Chain A
């Protein structure tokens, strides 16, 4: 059996969060998300958490597992190397219920950076072409699934509520560095300033928790350089 200590909190009823313990049968290759399904189906139907794809694509099941932000679907119990697993919601975000957090500020900042391709050139007969080299520069950033692990782990985002945060800045660089994008000056204007790229102190907390092994610090440093020498 594996012991799960799960943070419980209902923002409508509770004043303080508390931990509740559940015993889950230890099955081979069981992920933390599967264990949470077991708890809901067999032990406590009131436990709230988000999930969708179950395959580390949607980023919905981000939570703090044994002291580190991870995706529950991607985390195998055996890989944690412990018979007691503590789960709490992503830190530094308002808790709605149990393991569900309010992602509004995260997505508001994501929208600020205009996360879409802007190209004011005449539309070509076929597609906007891109070389392999040009595509390679943004390959890593495209993999971001917006789970919020990096944003929640970022010390600056925790203390400065206006800081854009690593996920939004990574996406900003993804479009800035895209050879097909023509709004580079506008993108630099958005990320420049005290609450933009320059708020990052390169602590690499974001890179440590990214389930897609993206290093947001790289994108942020590139943006800083571009903003300085524009």
Chain B
């Protein structure tokens, strides 16, 4: 199979949507409902967020969500003649915005793991 950028990004948009949906289900289960019947308290959630697997899962959701959302923004931008000619600039700007938010988000998740106050 040989992809060009548009078909590859279109396909990845669909794949990321399915992955987000399943990963969110896993996140909700693992962080909130793994102890069925018990009240959902912040302390319990924070305790479960100390797990490396949870960190990996939540980081994946963050990555997939950012990719899905920002790729969507790029698709909308390319709908317009006046933005289309700046495709490369817009794409790189979105990559930078995505990377910045990913780092910020992962840093927030790490705080639970290594007890940053």
A residues sitting closer than 8 Å to B (CB atoms) are 155-156, 159-162, 192-194, 196, 198-199, 201, 224, 227-230
Contact = CB atoms under 8 A, between A and B. Distances in A.
A35 B79 CA distance: 38
Interface string B70-108: 000001001111001001000000000000000000000
Given A192-B7, A198-B6, A199-B78, 16 more contacts: A155-B79, A159-B79, A159-B81, A160-B78, A160-B79, A160-B80, A160-B84, A192-B4, A192-B6, A194-B5, A198-B7, A199-B79, A201-B75, A224-B10, A227-B7, A228-B3
A161 B1 contact: no
Secondary structure type dominating chain B contacts: helix
Nearest to B5: A194
B7 A160 contact: no
30 contacts: A155-B79, A159-B79, A159-B80, A160-B78, A160-B79, A160-B80, A160-B81, A160-B84, A161-B81, A162-B84, A192-B6, A192-B7, A194-B5, A194-B6, A194-B78, A194-B84, A196-B6, A198-B6, A198-B7, A198-B10, A199-B79, A201-B75, A201-B79, A224-B10, A228-B3, A228-B7, A228-B10, A228-B11, A230-B1, A230-B2
Interface of B: 1-7, 10-11, 75, 78-81, 84, 87
Nearest to A155: B79
A201 B10 CA distance: 11
Contacts of B4: 192-193
Contacts of A199: 78-79
Given A159-B79, A159-B80, A194 B87 contact: yes
Nearest to A188: B7
Contacts of A230: 1-2
Contacts of B10: 198, 224, 228
